[in-house]
Amino acid sequence: DGGITQSPKYLFRKEGQNVTLSCEQNLNHDAMYWYRQDPGQGLRLIYYSQIVNDFQKGDIAEGYSVSREKKESFPLTVTSAQKNPTAFYLCASRAGARYEQYFGPGTRLTVT
Amino acid sequence: AQTVTQSQPEMSVQEAETVTLSCTYDTSESNYYLFWYKQPPSRQMILVIRQEAYKQQNATENRFSVNFQKAAKSFSLKISDSQLGDTAMYFCAFCHTGANSKLTFGKGITLSVRP
C-alpha cells in the first residue's frame, strides 16, 4: 500500500530537549512538506523540499530544522529554540507534475 | 502573497440536506489551483476536490461540487445529501503553479452533520 507514514502518533518531551519527527513516503513523490497545526489555525508551512539534498524555509521555520538525504524520508527536528513547540505536525508529499498534496496521519507533540 | 479566507468558523446541517461552505482568496497569479481538504476527528487530512483556475467548468466528485467564480475570487464547496461521516473540519487551499509551488490554507470551518 502506497502512502505516507509519520511516527510516533504521540510524542512527549521535556522543555529544552530536541526531538525529531519521522516522515516516510513510498509514493515516489519528489516534493515533501512539513506543516504545523494549532487550534483555530489553518496549516502553516515549516519547511519543504522539492528534491533530495535541497530544502527551503516556509513561513515559520525558526526553531526547526530538516534534512532530505533520501527521496523517501524528510525528518523534522524541533529544537529547543522553538518557543512554543506543542502542536500537531503534519507531513505531506506531492508528485512532480501535480499540485495536490497528500498527507500523513500526523504527530501530536507535547512539550512540558 | 496569497491569502485564503474562510469567514464562517462553524456550520451545522441536518443529515441528507445540502450545505455550502464559503472560501475567498486573493492572488495576482493567473494560473493556480484550488483545493478543499477534509479533516475528520482522526485528524487525517483528506483531499476532497480540486479545481484548476484555467478550467471554467466547476469540479465535481460524487456528492461534492464547487462553485468557482474566478473574477470574484470565490471558491465554495457544496455538499449534497450530507452524511454523518461528513462531520469534519474543511480547509480551503490555494496553490500557484510553477517552481516552489506551495499550498496556502484558510483557517478552516467546522461542519457538524446532525442526525
DSSP string across A86-99: -EEEEEEEE-TT--
Q: A25-34, A73-82, B99-108: lowest mean pLDDT where?
A: B99-108
Closest residue to B103, CB basis, from A40, A101, A105: A101
Instruction: Give the pLDDT score at A1.
Output: 62
Cα–Cα dist B18/B100, whole Å: 37
Say yes or no for a CB contact (<8 Å) between A42 and B97: no
CB-count burial class (<10 Å; 0-12, 13-18, 19+) for A95? middle
**Amino acid found at A45:** L
Strands (E), chain A: 4-7, 10-13, 19-25, 31-37, 43-51, 54-57, 64-66, 76-78, 87-94, 102-103, 107-111
Share of chain A above pLDDT 70, in %: 98
Closest residue to A42, CB basis, from B44, B50, B107: B107
CA dihedral in degrees (B23, B26, B29, B30; nearest 10)? 50
Cα–Cα dist A60/A35, whole Å: 9
Segment B21-34, tens digit of pLDDT? 999 999 988 899 99
Cβ of A88 under 8 Å from any chain B Cβ? yes
Say yes or no for a CB contact (<8 Å) between A58 and B4: no
Cell reading at B53: 483556475
Q: A20-24, B52-56, B63-67: lowest mean pLDDT where?
A: B52-56
Name the phi and psi angles at B85, rounded to 5.
-70, -5
Segment B23-63, tens digit of pLDDT? 999 998 889 999 999 999 999 999 999 999 999 899 999 99
